[in-house]
Amino acid sequence: MGVAWLTSRPIAHRGYHDTSAGIVENTLSAATAAIAKNFAIECDLQLTADGEAVVFHDDSLDRLTLASGPVRARSFAELKAIPLRDTSDRIPTFGELLAAVAGRTPLLIELKSDWTGDRRLETEAARVLSAYQGRAAVMSFDPASMLAMRRFLPQIPRGLTADAFADGPDWGHLPPLRRFALRHLFAALAVRPAFVSYGIHDLPVPAPLLLRRLGVDLIGWTVRTPAEREKARRYCDQITFEGFDPDAIVGTRTDA
C-alpha cells in the first residue's frame, strides 16, 4: 500500500530553499537545489482567477511578493508580473515545475483547497499531471480534494495531510465536529491513501499510527529541530524538513 520511492529520501519542504541565498520557497530555484541534493520535493498548488495551477503556498500574496491580496483574485498573467521578494524567480506554473523536475526526483504535491467544494484546482492539476512521466504523489488537508483526485487520476498515489486541526486562524472556520473527523482521519476508508502526512508537533496520536500498522506510509511534517527529528525516527517512515540538511546530521536517518 505504501510508496517506496516517496519515503526513500527526505522531502524538502517547498523545495530546498534558503532566502539568504536568494532561493525562495516553491520556486524553480528551490526545486533545482533539492534535485542537486537528491531530496524529494514538497510543493503547493493554488488556482488563479483564470484557472491556472500555480506553485504557491499562501492564500495571500502579502508575505512572499511585492503585491497583496488573494492569489485566486489574480490572473496568471498578473501573477507572473509580480516580483517575489528576495529572488529573481517568479511564481511558476505547475507545468513549469514538472518540466524543470523532469522526473529527476519525486514530487509530493499539496493541493490547497478553499473548502467550498470548488474542484477546478483538482481538474487542472489532474490535466497537467496526466502527461507527466515522473514520480509524483498528491495530498490535501481536504479529503474531498483527494476523493476528486481518486476519480480523476486513480493511478497517482494520494495522501491525507493532517494535524490536530486546533481552533484558531488556520482551522477555526471549520466546525468542531468536522475538525474532529479530519484530525482522526475518518476519510481514510473513502480516500484509500497510500500515505499520511501528519504534523510532527501533534504526533504520536492513534489514527496515523494505526494506519501505518496497516501499511500506509507516515510522513512527519515539518521537521525543523533535533527534537522533531528524533520524534520522526520513532514514529515516521520519512520526514518533510526545512532549514537544515538532513544528510549533514550525524545519526539522522535519511533513507527509509
Q: What is the mean pLDDT of residues 107-135?
A: 97
Grid coordinates representing 174 are 471549520
pLDDT bucket at 249, cuts 50 / 70 / 90:
confident
d(CA 212, CA 168): 28
**Given the C-alpha cell 523545495, which residue does it identify?**
15
Q: Are 144 and 152 in contact (CB under 8 A)?
A: no
Domains of the chain: 4-243 (3.20.20.190)
* Assessment of whether the complete model's pTM goes beyond 0.85: yes
Q: What is the mean pLDDT of residues 63-82?
A: 97
pLDDT bucket at 253, cuts 50 / 70 / 90:
very low
Per the DSSP assignment, residues forming a β-bridge with 55 are 45
Q: What is the mean pLDDT of residues 40-49?
A: 98
Those residues with Cβ within 8 angstroms of residue 63's Cβ, 6 or more apart along the chain or in another chain: none
pLDDT bucket at 2, cuts 50 / 70 / 90:
confident
Share of the chain above pLDDT 90, in %: 96
pLDDT bucket at 256, cuts 50 / 70 / 90:
very low
